[in-house]
Amino acid sequence: MKWSQLVTRAGLVTRWDGSVDPEITSVVEDSRQAGLGSCFVAVRGTRADGHGFVEAACQAGAAAVVCERPVKAIPGVAVLQLASARGVVGRLAAVLYGLDERLRSGRLNVVGVTGTNGKSTFCYLMQAILRQAGYPTAMLGTVQYDLVSRTIESGWTTPPAATLMGYLAEAAEAGATHAVMEVSSHALDQGRCDGVRFAVGVFSNLTGDHLDYHETMESYLRAKKRLFDGLDANAVAVVNAEDPAGRRIVADCQASVLWYGIASGDDAVGGRSAELDVEARIERIAATGSRFELTSRWAVGRGHSASPVSRWIDSALVGRHNVQNCLAAASAALGLGIGLDTIAAGLDSVRCVPGRLQRVEGTGRACTVLVDYAHTDDALENVLSAVRPLATRRLIVMFGCGGDRDKSKRPRMAAVVAKYADRIVVTSDNPRTEEPEAIIADILPGFDAAAMRRVTVESDRRAAIGQAIAMAEADDVVVLAGKGHETYQEIGRQRVPFDDVVVAGERLKVTGERGG
């Protein structure tokens, strides 16, 4: 595509008056990825400033440059200087890959979910519903990227802008009519999703996390809000009515707003069940899953209707938080015009989400071992409050905290674990460039003196898993928290192969054979 066409269709200029009008073959923000015909966008990142790599990109073959401040003129290279290059990569890539036309015409409908917890589970549930409805559906998130024709390992919760647009375009070429994706606060703040028209935006919850990046909860909230600020009048915003941040998230939102929540007795959240568009009345939550009545007051024409329609849901997912995740997925599906029968069948079909209260199969042990991705105090609260009633004897919890991340949550996570666990093993998570012992030292003040008597410290995660399982007796429940689906441990700047599920399975087999 000609440069002049690309920048005008992306809305960067109304007309290109430059003397140079090259053919553009790709859009990149990393000079190392530049090639013949690339457009290099000089972005100021958190670690480096792209303006320092313009010459390298052009030497590699870049034919155009977008920048925020003057750069050295290079013969034959088109240069466009903007006040801000935030979000430009996505907008250009969406046009270049033909994604903008697919999104505008509705040939590809994208559902984006943002929130501190529950995003991955939501995506699995949403994909199941859409596939139940007969729609080929891509999924991009923390666990994996399912692009319909192939599935690849996830590198980011939300990929960099050009990569994201390429994946969505690839999925559409493979026949996808829908895509479900996790939208992180980092991605929203950095404009990675600019260029994507979301048919549905979903807000799950907002709790303390990522303050190493956002610094304040207010900044964190504003980043999440960007997803909803970008929705147009034809879109639907799906919001958790139980979260106090919900109303601020959709303030000034142009989209239709659909509220969901869990009813309690005769009243829902705030005592106004009738004001919820979608609600659940829980009959039971057990080790085998949850049963609840799903009621919708959402009219087909996108609006609140007084006439409710209900279906019973039997979900294999455990815990109140997973009922909320089911509600979010059901609400998003209703926003897309999918019927309750299809929604119920889709929700019922999901038996497990990788690394989310995933049971580890072993031999010879009567205890239950669960692996979960919970790595914030709120996520631990959700998981442990769900599991505690299921432990007929003791609950044993192993956890750690990630290095180079929000330090304020470390003692808070300890306090949550102390509230529920009978035995506690504190270990290393992904230490990154921090010393595991230093991270553990930040965790321990969250335990009071009584809780400390139940704590064992083992910085080696493999050994810690072994200790937690060795402690367990018949009918005990062991929760290995923090890494979930991950198949690596980040030590220094390296990713070392490590899988909690595999390590726990090996340990269960060994202890089962030994009878210990």
pLDDT digits (tens, 9 = 90+) for 308-348: 999 999 999 999 999 999 999 999 999 999 999 999 999 99
What integer pLDDT is reported at residue 401 of this predicted model?
A: 98
pTM over 0.85: yes
Residue 92 has pLDDT above 90, yes or no: yes
What is the C-alpha to C-alpha distance for residues 366 and 476, in angstroms, rounded to an integer?
8
What integer pLDDT is reported at residue 269 of this predicted model?
A: 44
Do the Cβ atoms of 368 and 512 come closer than 8 Å? no
Residue given tokens 């994946």 in the structure block: 167
Indicate the range of 52-66, 202-216, 374-388 predicted with least confidence: 202-216
What integer pLDDT is reported at residue 288 of this predicted model?
A: 83
What is the C-alpha to C-alpha distance for residues 202 and 126, in angstroms, rounded to an integer?
11
Read off the pLDDT of each residue in 14-43 and give the average, rounded to a whole number. 95
Considering only CA atoms, give the Rg of the chain: 24
What is the C-alpha to C-alpha distance for residues 379 and 506, in angstroms, rounded to an integer?
27
SS3 state of residue 188: helix
SS3 state of residue 507: helix
With bands split at pLDDT 50, 70 and 90, how would you rate the model's confidence at 427?
Answer: very high
Four-point Cα dihedral 217, 245, 188, 375, nearest 10: 60
Residue 118 has pLDDT above 80, yes or no: yes
Which of these, 254, 227, 237, 255, lies nearest to 200 by C-alpha position?
237
Q: How many CB atoms lie within 10 A of CB 180?
A: 29
Indicate the range of 173-182, 208-217, 368-377, 405-414 predicted with least confidence: 208-217
- Mean residue pLDDT of the chain comes to 93
Map out the domains of the chain with their CATH numbers.
Answer: 3-86 (3.40.1390.10), 97-349 (3.40.1190.10), 358-514 (3.90.190.20)
SS3 state of residue 513: helix
Residue 37 has pLDDT above 90, yes or no: yes
Do the Cβ atoms of 424 and 394 come closer than 8 Å? no
Amino acid identity at 417 = V
What integer pLDDT is reported at residue 88 of this predicted model?
A: 96
Q: Residue 198: what are its φ and ψ, rounded to 5°?
A: -90, 125
With bands split at pLDDT 50, 70 and 90, how would you rate the model's confidence at 267?
Answer: very low
Helix segments in 265-408, DSSP class H: 320-335, 340-349, 377-387
What integer pLDDT is reported at residue 68 of this predicted model?
A: 95
Structure token digits, residue 229: 């600020």
Residue 360 has pLDDT above 60, yes or no: yes
Residue given tokens 């069940």 in the structure block: 273
Which of these, 227, 234, 187, lies nearest to 204 by C-alpha position?
227
Do the Cβ atoms of 421 and 395 come closer than 8 Å? yes
Interacting residues of 155 by C-beta distance below 8 A, sequence separation 6+ = none
